[in-house]
Structures are given as C-alpha cells and as structure tokens.
Amino acid sequence: MLTRIAATMLGAAAVLATGAAAPRLAHADGKTYTIYLSNNFVGNDWRQQMLRSASVSVKKGPLAGRVDLHIENVETTTQAQINSLNNIIRAKPDAILIDAGSPTALNPTVEKACAAGIVVISFDQVVTADCAYQVASNWDTMTHDLAVWMVSALGGKGKVLMDRGLAGAGISEMLQSGYEKVLKENPGIEVVGYFNGNYALGPEQSGVASLLAANPHIDGILTQGYGVGALKALQDAGRPVVPVTAFSYNISGVTCVQTPGAKCILGVNPAYLSSEAIKLAVQILDGKKPAEKVIQFESPRLTTDLLKADYSKGADLQKLEVGKNAFPDQPPGLALPISPDWVEITPKEAAGS
C-alpha cells in the first residue's frame, strides 16, 4: 500500500495535501456524482479501514448528499482489476477511484476511462497514466521527519539499530534510504546493527533481540513497522527503553503512551486517503481542478515527545494521547489518525465495530 510519488501539488491542491483550511463543498444545491472505488485487495486491516472511511465520509460533513458511492473489491490479480474497471467504465460514472494492483498494467484501461470523460484518481498505490490524478503519502518528508526526531531525541549522538523492513520490497528500501540519508548528515549517530522486521511484531521483536545480545549499549531503534516488538525486546532483555520510530498502528500508539519512559514518533499513511480522494473527485467535478495531477499528501506525525528538530516545511507533529488519537478499546491494527479534519470518522466507524 505504500507508493512513492515525486511531485507536490500547487494552488488549490496544496490545501488538500496539508489537510489545512480545506474548502467547503456545496451541500443541497450541489450535484450528486456517481463515483466508483476500485480496490484490488482486502486482506489487511488498513484496506478494510480504508473502505469503511470512504463509506462513512460520503454520509456526513461536506460530502453528504454529493456522492453516490459504489465500491468494487476484486481478486488480488491485475487482470481481475482490469476486468472490473472495464465493467465500471461501461456504467459511465462521473469518477473512478483506484487503489491499484499495478502502477503500469492498469494504464491502458485508465486511459480508456479518461477518454470516456471519466475523472480518474488513483490513491495509496497509484497508476502512472498521465491522465489520472495521484494521491499518496509523501514518504520522503515522513522518513526525514522521523529520522531528525530521532537525532534530536539522542542529542545528535548515539548507537542505533535500523529496520530494513521486508527484503526486496521497494517501500522498505525507500524507508531505509530515507533514514540513512538523515543519519549520514549526523555522523554522531552510528548504526550498529540491521534487522528485517517484515512489518510484523514477531520478526521485529526477534530481530531486535538478537542484536541486543551483540550490542551491550543501544540508544535508539528505527523501525519500519510497529515499534512494539522493539520495545518488548528491550523489556525482555532488561534493557532501558530507548527512543523508537515506528508507524501509526493503534497498538503502537497505545503502547508508546502507556509504556513508562517510552519515547516514540509514528509515521502516518492514513486509511482516510480514500476520503481525500473522494473529496478531490467532487472538487474536480465541481470545476475546481488542482494545478498538478500528482499530489503528495502530507500526513501528521504522531509522537509522545514534541521535540524541536529540523523537520520538513509545514510538518504537523501531534502529541499521542489516549482517547484522542490512540484507543485502548479499539483493534490493535487500526490506522491512526482515524479521521481527516474536514469530517468526523469515529473510532467505532473506522474499526467497523
């Protein structure tokens, strides 16, 4: 679900990317648009929350009454998504939103939709067809901000462990590269060990545990996953809790807040990207096209400690707080934060409980 894109949006689109001061959409006097969401995978918590976020956001707030939403889930094959998209095109909707199974294989079908006058927005995992809009998290600024937070937490000096993620995964290489770029600019921080967390609690915990045995002193851990496995490995080894970077699963937020002495920062790839894509589609159909088609969504960073650091321009750091953006009574796999600032999606709605 993690996709790197290369350009920022300007003008009206910048409002969407930052999530700040979003323009209001028309209500009763605005046209209702038929919008299809094509999703190629439902096998993890994020995708299921993404679909719930889309369904909830069209029923309230500025999108209420503006969208007739149809969700099409398909098998996890490119051909299945192509076949589904061809059926959707024949239905002649106003817009199609795509969480794509391939950045390139869907392009001929996407171009067919564009040629039929249909607005196409790919989000999360995006297509590369020139006619389609793209909405995805800005992973470059995110990894930069997580790494500079770690530098600040350590006062510019220390020994750290680094997660390589999942072997062979493009996003893993990108996140590792983003961390390492910042550390190269801060030679007082030394990486003394690497592990593959595989975006799972068990491998993260065992990977950190094996490196702790070989390193009597560790000052910080940069993970690509939960961070919870790293904290558990420290506790099991009787070692001091050290600053940790991770990503915004509910279990991560809750554990970071509730673990004495824990310092964490969580990168965010919000499940409500689907809601942002719908809002953008309505804006475009209303005649308010953004200046650029490639949109990097700047998500907040959630942290236990609002440290001063050389963050990216406009970075929004938000303090982790139980009941506000971490929820002990909700599923551990819930993606935080759960709601954009222009519509309320409750924890129960996001979790489907």
Task: Report domain extents, the chain.
Answer: 12-138+269-299, 139-267
Query: Is residue 14 scored above 60 in pLDDT?
Result: no
**Quick one: which of 39, 36, 132 has its CA closest to 91?**
36
What pLDDT shows up at residue 146? Answer: 98
Distance of CA 260 to the CA centre of its chain: 27
| Helical (H) or strand (E) element with 349 | helix 347-351
CA–CA distance, 172 with 190 (Å, rounded to integer): 20
Tell me what the pLDDT averaged over the chain comes to. 91
> Is the per-residue pLDDT at 17 higher than 90?
no
In the chain, what is the greatest distance between 2 CA atoms, to the nearest angstrom?
66
Between 4-18, 45-59, 123-137, 339-353, the lowest mean confidence (pLDDT) is in 4-18
Q: Quick check: 175 pLDDT over 60? A: yes
* Region 52-78 average pLDDT: 96
Kindly indicate the confidence band of residue 2, based on its pLDDT and cuts at 50, 70 and 90: very low
CA 122, CA 1: separation in Å to the nearest integer? 12
Cα distances from 42 to residues 47, 52, 75, in angstroms, run 5, 11, 9
pLDDT value at 26 more than 60: no
Band of pLDDT at residue 170, cut at 50, 70 and 90: confident
- How many CB atoms are closer than 10 A to CB 245? 30
Given this structure, which CATH class describes domain 139-267?
alpha beta
Tracing tokens 């997580």 back to the chain, one arrives at: 146
Q: What is the pLDDT of residue 16?
A: 37
pLDDT at 210: 97
Query: Does position 130 have pLDDT exceeding 90, yes or no?
Result: yes
pTM, to two decimals: 0.87
Q: What is the pLDDT of residue 196?
A: 97
User: Do 12-138+269-299 and 139-267 agree at the fold level?
Assistant: yes
The pair phi, psi for residue 127, each rounded to 5°, is: -95, 165
CATH superfamily of 12-138+269-299: Response regulator (3.40.50.2300)
Residue 29's pLDDT is 57
Q: What is the pLDDT of residue 30?
A: 82
| pLDDT tens-digit map of 250-270 | 999 999 999 999 999 999 999
Please give the average per-residue pLDDT across 68-95, as a whole number: 96
> What is the number of helices (H) and of strands (E) in the chain?
11, 13
CA dist 242 to 156, 184, 267, Å?
14, 21, 18
